[in-house]
Amino acid sequence: MKLEITPIQLLLVGIGMAFLIEGMIYFLFPSSIKNMLEHIKEMSPLVLRNLGFLAMITGLIIVYMVIK
């Protein structure tokens, strides 16, 4: 039996998973998150942009590997 998922359902599952993981991190490690945010404030915009780009590429590779 194959489960049929529409693209909208898949998008909503992805968004839900992102909220779930993000919420777990804030719930489990609140003091670490505060420390990390202080370090982020000190980073240059270029470093933050590069980290964001790296995160996007990593996510794209994971999605590609799962769909392939």
Note the pLDDT of residue 3.
80
Output DSSP code: residue 44: -
Handedness of CA 21, 26, 32, 35 (dihedral sign): positive
List alpha helices for 1-68, DSSP H.
7-28, 30-42, 45-67
Whether residue 61 is contained in a domain is answered as: yes
Q: Is 1 within the bounds of a domain?
A: no
Domain count, the chain: 1
The domain in which residue 39 lies consists of: 7-67
Go through 7-35 and write b for each residue having 16 or more CB atoms within 10 A of its CB, e for each that does not.
Answer: eeeeeeeeeeeeeeeeeeeeeeeeeeeee
pLDDT in the model for residue 23: 97
In a domain, 2, yes or no: no
> Which residues, given as ranges, of the chain have pLDDT below 70?
1
Please state whether the predicted TM-score (pTM) of the whole model is above 0.75. Answer: no
Structural domain contains residue 26: yes
